Structure 1
Amino acid sequence: MSETPIELEPQLSVQPSSQPESGRGLQPPPLFQLPLPTQDPSDTHQQTQLQLGPQLSESNPEHQQQAKPWASARLSISADPFTQPCDYFLFTCGSDILSPDNGGRQRGQGIPGHPQNQKEKAVWTERRGRSKEREDRGLRKEKISDRKTVLLQYLREILESNNRPGSTAVQKAKGFYHSCLDTKSIETAGAEPFLALIQKLGGWAVAGQWNRTDFNSTLRLLMRDYATFPFFNLYVGKDPNEIARGTTRRYIQIDQPDLLIPIEWNSKTLKSQAKTRTLRPFLASCERYLALLGAPPGSSMIHVGTFISLSSELAVAAAPLHFRLSKGQLHQRMTIRELQKQAPAIDWLGCLQAVFHPLPLTEDDHVLLHNSPYIVQMSRTIGKWLNKHEPRSSGPVHTYMVLSLLHTLMPALDSRFSETAKNLSMALGDAEEVADRWKHCVLETERGFDLVLTHLLSKRTAHREAEEIIQNIFTSFKSKLHELKWTDQKSLQSVMKKVQSLIPRLWTTKETSSEAELDLLFSKVTVGTNSFFSNYVQSLSLWQKRRSQLLTEKAEEADILSVTPFLLGDELLFPMGMFIPPLFHPTYPRAMNYGVMGFLIAKDILHLILPDVYSQSEMVHAVGECVWAHYLTVTEKAGRGGVFSLSAAQQQELWVQYSALQIALQAYHQSLKNHPNDTSISGLSHTRLFLTSFSQVNCDSDPYSKFMPLEPSFLITVICAKSDQCPTSLQCLNKTQQHALQTC
């Protein structure tokens, strides 16, 4: 394929396409907004503000001009895969590192298993998982962030921008975010906001005053206003038994709670129990919490002792997911009236009506239980403790609810509480990396103001360009399936029938709220500039109301934090959060968008259908081994020996990523036929710009990255081994080796 590069201005200059297109008059932000090698990585955010901030939301000539040298600098400091391809490609995507000092990567062993078979995702499982940033790669010093972190950084830019006043709802979301960042005010407030709230709820014996509020009344308040569920969890979801029949109705789902006390499963007795070895640090943490809340030293042990005793009794009937699946304890349907008979200690109708107000729930409405033995045992335990202890004692059941509320509100309290929780996690051996404060605050803002952030993100998303690349990649993907060798024609027809029924589209909210509608929706929310606790309590109430509305909504609400596509019925939905700078922008040359986002889209699609292909086509194994043969040839030539066999999971991932690159390149070439005047950068040919952009994706952080046995950019060497589409400057293998290698 012959290409004539488009000459551009110095640094970065983008020629407009011959066809007028929305958004293509803007100067593009740089491909990856990363610090220069001479700068401290901690300065990344300051640079990001200069590069990505106002120019994306409004015309700002000054910031547009600033974008030019940044993008040029980014390309200039990036390793060029066409200059020294052998050295560039020889490190891996796992924890192993290749650096000039150690002379090669430390090869590990084959990795068993593959997450593709993890199909059972319970309805109640939240999609909001924590994403960790990738570690420095050694050969390239800059840090490449995973897609979730890139999205959070982009939302951070939106929340920290002050280019125009905006609606009151937008200002409240930004005010909430900034109050979260104001750790000085949070530290100054200490525990007083929580203690004041407890007094509002009727007091607490530990704090010296308790008016012995009714158990179910207090429980209703905690669930309705503070999204706190001490004794059981509530979710909203569909019945999988009805999904197969095409029913989209949602139900209230009742599950065992997230217990505060550390427990473990006894496979012999088939019961859960408190971890004996962790009781001492757990006891210490409870005492510390009570001390921070002003409990007299002499009485704290009594309250802690009864709390642990009650927690241990509740834990007995809790069971892990695998056990409940084996016993058929999931999605057990019953009416609220039947539930009341089985677990009479809880006022079920009153609690559910409080949570799902104003929906007119009755005793005849159905709910789904996910561990009925626990619910029954929980009711018996609470009834026993209320009858034996509560009237005459300091209220251990009430203390249990208060401490549950404390854990809900702990993110809004001073650092002494979070440090106590961190110390306990370290003692239990499962401490997690503490997220940066800004990242924590973005996530907390999304919890209560997700509609506002969805509105702002939608305004900044290039819908038409995103839909175009989705459709083109999907068309190329279907073409790729026809090229595979199938076990028989029926296998191809079976897979293609499933694929042809899919409707790929950008996942947006069906009816995006206007700013006026958002202002009305958040009109009763009062956000204080230096009162994060009060703001946080309101966000919990907002979150609970939004979750309750799911019970009557027919459409799947767009999840602003999603960064990978998923299947919903016959729809293949791609979240808006995928199509953001620096991964994608309408002003980029199409070669850059297809080299980065096109590859990621293709890879995601292949992962979704991999089980169907792997079971009916031998190409997955053959292509994986072929790519690996290329890699071994190069590494052995470079004197970096050490061979190990690939596991099935590694073969699959090699096939997925190599095929994704082929699909994206094919889709781009088809796009280039429709838009022959696509722009370029620094005089690069279109294909070279595509491949150069792809090489900067590196190891995209997803559940499968740990199975990739080599740097994805090495795939450029494989795809160019016998191709007239690649630049002639790509030379990694000598002629003898090139002749010996097969086309994968």
Structure 2
Amino acid sequence: MPQRYLGAQTAGGSQNVVLASLSSFLLHSLQEGGDQSEEELRGQSQARGTGSSPEERLSTAWWASARRVLTAILLFGLLLGSSVLLFYIFWNCGPRLCETPVCLDLRARYQASGNTSAAPCNDFFSFACGKVKGSSNSFQSLAEENKSQLRRILEAQDPLYPGSGEEKAFQFYSSCMDTHSIEAAGAGPLRQVIEELGGWCISGNWTSLDFNRTLRLLMSQYGHFPFFRAYLGPHPASPHTPVIQIDQPEFDVPLKQKQEQKIYAQIIREYLTYLNRLGTLLGGDPGKVQEHASLSISITSRLFQFLRPLEHRWTQGKLFQMVTIHQLQEMAPAIDWLSCLQATFTPMSLSPSQPLVVHDLEYLKNMSHLVEELLLTHRDFLQSHMILGLVGTLSPALDSKFQEAHRELSQKLRELTEQPPMPARPRWMKCVEETGTFFEPTLAALFVREAFGPSTRSAAMELFTAIQDVLVTRLRRLPWMDEETQKATQQKVSQLQVEMGAPEWALKPEMARQEYSDIQLGPTFLQSVLSCHRSLRARIVRSFLHPPSPHRWKVSPWEVNAYYSTSDHVVVFPAGLFQPPFFHLGYPRAVNFGAAGSIMAHKLLQIIYQLWLPGDCPACDARALHGARLCLEHHYAAFLLPSRTSFNDSFTFLENVADVGGLAVALQAYTKRLLWHSGETTLPSLDLSPQQIFFRSYAQVMCRKPSPKDSHDTHSPPPLRVHGPLSSTPAFARHFHCPRGALLNPSNRCQLW
């Protein structure tokens, strides 16, 4: 158990010392005043001579005594008044208990996640996160709570503006939640889509349409790309200039290069079962379904073999190539590139000389040869392959039979690839996500108005400024950085642009009422989804055609992931991050600095990531920098890791550097704030001082059940993200009274920041 913070008692002890000194001074003054009165009395008697009467002498003595009594009363009153004043001052300087609902809720969160029986000096992760269950983590929990807030907004009373974006967003969410109507429609809406595409020979009539016409419809009207992906992205040489990019396709099956043959065969069997189930749900003949599903899998397998791994393209220096539509048409002639891309990216005006960014040209050449071969030998099977892929794409908008088929496939594939099962998500969460995708401008404005008002935004900016100022100051004291690099880095940090809460457009009230005239909702939910898809794609294209904004946000305002954009030199902190338990206006400052403040500092340190890599800071003290690197690597290597976990790479090292530095910067900013601003509070019943709450809130951000490392996650495992920085911070050991040699109070520490 941590030692209880004795702020009030300490203040009282200091108060007693001061009062004792003041009492001694006053009593001494009182005694000096009494002696002086007697001397004056004798002097007066001598001046009057010996002829004074006894009555006169008695009167003089009485007045002297009265004077002494009055002086004593006056001094006692001053003493009492000073005591009350000093008591008031010291009492208000100590931390008060925060017993508001938000603080009591935060205390309940800490008690629910923490294990106070764990020794904080040896296992602070268990102390803060020991009761965390399942695969949930703090960021996921916060993201889900933000979606709950969006749900409350969408289920609130009807909007005040009929026909507005608010009304359409609410109607879409309501139709998504209307599972009775979706179940009643069954596969009917999907059959209608298939008929519009010419049908297929698995069930019903089939009209053999032109391949490129079908592909053009799939891409432009249904957002389905069976052979490649096409999207708008930043130009490699000019980040603010959009360019059409042609990339490898995304497959439903998790095939991998150099996959074990047994696992590969099992995956193919599961996927075949899934395709057979889709065909049967659409009324197909079982024999034909089996035949067409098998060939569809064969097409997918051959396309997959054409892919070249990213590492291979990197070593060859061919991550992408710039070609025109005309050049691509000559190299991959099976696809009518101009027609398909023009339909997909309307209202852009394309021509054969339009430049494209192609990510894997060799794949596109081989894909084109395969399509030409299939058009000659298996045209009907090629049509079935495209439609089966479309059915999988649209399954979330269909009835429960289709959704259940897709869910069972996903679970079995995760088992085969040794991934943890995906927890079932409630229907409302899926509907909130869909509504947020299609009506982001409206929901962004509503969320910001509800959860990120002007006072919260001002407090978040104030916190950021405090973090930024401390980092600029600390950069002056880095022993391994030369003076010129220090100045350049300080200037870079000072000139950083910050976007807080939401983009400027989302802060305008009229955005919530934005009209979506091109969206036609109903009569079925699938038709509503398709109309929203087309509207969203058109909005994206139009946004790229407008003059470029200073920075185009990569996250929605209700999301929780902050990021730093190198190309725009801007750091983005969405409003969703500044919600309980990471931030609240009514929290103790220790919580806001320990949680949100450490996240801010971590993102700021990403600006100078490259300085830590060998050779990227030629003017720095190479020996000192190398020593700091080795010290941190050895320091982290001393901690035990969960089984099957590996993090020995440069990306994880940089994240560790930012973790250590982020905690140090946030702590210094908090300490500085305490010196200049009184009125800190603490949480009741936790027996934690404000400084201890700071470290507790920092660890709370990292709470997550340890699991095998995700291949896409560059961070260290959660326990190491807690213990590594805390053991590098002397203040932690001091405030938790850790004995020398404890795991989190080592004898030697690395001097990084």
TM-score with structure 1 setting the length? 0.72
In structure 2, the partner of 1:290 is: 279
Alpha carbons 1:225, 1:544 under 8 Å: kept: no
- Contact (CA 8 Å) 1:92, 1:710: kept in 2 or not? no
Deviation of the 1:403 alpha carbon: 1.2
Q: 2:448 aligns with which of 458, 461, 464?
A: 458
Task: Work out whether residues 5 and 686 of structure 1, in 8 Å CA contact, stay in contact via their aligned partners in 2.
Answer: no
Give the residue type in structure 2 aligned to 1:574: F
Q: Distance in 1 between matches of 2:448 and 2:411?
A: 40
Q: CA deviation at 1:453?
A: 2.3
Give the superposition deviation at 1:340. 2.1
Equivalent position SS for 1:237:
strand
Q: 2: distance between equivalents of 1:739 and 1:389?
A: 70
Q: Output the CA distance in 1 between the equivalents of 2:340 and 2:654.
A: 49
- Is 2-11 or 290-299 further displaced after alignment? 2-11
Deviations 1:147-185 (A, max 9, x none): 244123213222223454335423433443344344454
Distance 1:138 1:261 in 2: 36
- Higher RCO (Cα < 8 Å, 6 or more apart): 1
Match in the other structure for 1:250:
242
Specify the alignment match of 1:551 in structure 2: 544
How far has the Cα of 1:294 moved from its partner?
A: 0.7
673-682 vs 210-219, which deviates more?
673-682
Q: Structure 1, residues 343-399: CA drift from partner, whole Å, max 9, x if none?
A: 232222221121111122222221111111222222232233224443xxxx22221
Please say which of residues 363-372 and 680-689 is displaced more in the overlay. Answer: 680-689
- Other-structure match for 2:579: 580
Q: Could you tell me which residue of structure 2 aligns to residue 64 of structure 1?
A: none
Q: What do residues 561-608 of structure 1 show as CA deviations (whole Å, max 9, x unaligned)?
A: 351222232223333332223311233343321121101222333355
1:399 aligned partner: 384
1:380 aligns with 2:372: no
**Equivalent residue runs for 1:135-154 within 5 Å:** 137-139=129-131, 145-154=137-146
Q: How far has the Cα of 1:741 moved from its partner?
A: 4.0
1:682-701 correspondence to structure 2 within 5 Å: 682=684, 686-699=690-703
Question: What is the alpha-carbon distance in structure 2 between the residues aligned to residue 590 and residue 448 of structure 1?
Answer: 37
Distance 1:153 1:703, change over 3 A: farther
**CA distance in 1: counterparts of 2:479 and 2:526, whole angstroms:** 60
Q: SS of 2:306's equivalent?
A: coil
| 1: CA distance, partners of 2:731 / 2:256 | 53
CA distance, structure 2, for counterparts of residue 659 and residue 231 of structure 1: 45
Residues 222-252 of structure 1 deviation map (CA, whole Å, 9 limit, x = unaligned): 2122111112101211232x14xxx621100
Instruction: Tell me what 1:565 maps to.
Output: 563
Cα distance change on mapping 1:207 and 1:90 into 2, 3 Å: farther
Structure 1 CA distance for aligned equivalents of residues 648 and 579 of structure 2 = 34
Counterparts in 2 of 1:496 and 1:252: CA distance versus 1, 3 Å: same
Partner amino acid, structure 2, of 1:152: E
Indicate the SS of the match to 2:565: strand
* Structure richer in helix, relative to its length: 2
One-letter code aligned to 1:87: A
Describe how 1:85-124 pairs up with structure 2 within 5 A: 87-88=119-120, 90-91=122-123
Q: Which stretch shows the higher mean deviation, 582-591 or 400-409?
A: 582-591
Residues 696 and 298 of structure 1: CA distance in aligned 2, closer, same or farther (over 3 Å): closer
Partner of 2:561, secondary structure, is: coil
TM-score w.r.t. the length of structure 2 is 0.71
Letter of the structure 2 residue corresponding to residue 563 of structure 1: N
Report the CA distance between 1:87 and its aligned residue.
1.6
User: How many residues matched?
Assistant: 619
Q: Alignment partner for residue 715 of structure 1, among 726, 732, 736?
A: 726
Please show how residues 145-544 of structure 1 align to structure 2 within 5 Å: 145-161=137-153, 162-166=155-159, 167=161, 168-240=164-236, 242-243=237-238, 248-260=240-252, 263-265=255-257, 275-276=264-265, 278-390=267-379, 395-425=380-410, 427-428=412-413, 429-430=416-417, 432-437=421-426, 438-459=428-449, 460-461=451-452, 462-486=456-480, 488-489=482-483, 492=486, 495-496=489-490, 498-506=492-500, 508-512=502-506, 514=508, 516-517=510-511, 519-527=513-521, 531-544=524-537
**Contact kept? 2:165, 2:513, Cα under 8 Å:** yes
Distance verdict in 2 for CA 1:74–1:485, change over 3 Å = same
What's the counterpart of residue 739 of structure 2?
Answer: 733
SS of 1:361 mapped into structure 2: coil
Letter in 2 for 1:476: V
- Larger CA Rg, structure 1 vs 2: 2
Q: SS of 1:217's equivalent?
A: helix
8 Å Cα contact 1:12-1:72 kept in structure 2? no
Residue 664 (structure 1) shift:
0.9
Structure 2 unpaired stretches of 5+: 1-6, 12-89, 615-621, 706-712
Distance 1:583 1:613 in 2: 29
CA distance in 1, matches of 2:573, 2:265: 46
- Identity across aligned pairs (percent)? 28
Q: 1:352 to 1:414 in 2, by over 3 A?
A: same
Q: Which runs of 5+ in 1 are unaligned?
A: 14-27, 31-68, 100-135, 633-643
Q: CA RMSD in A?
A: 4.2
CA contact (8 A) 1:467 1:505 kept: no
Which whole-Å deviations, capped at 9, do the CAs of 1:532-556 have from their partners, x for residues lacking one? 3333223322332243335325234
Counterparts of 1:591 and 1:277 in 2: how far apart (Å)? 52
1:117-138 CA-to-partner distances (Å, cap 9, x unmatched) read xxxxxxxxxxxxxxxxxxx954
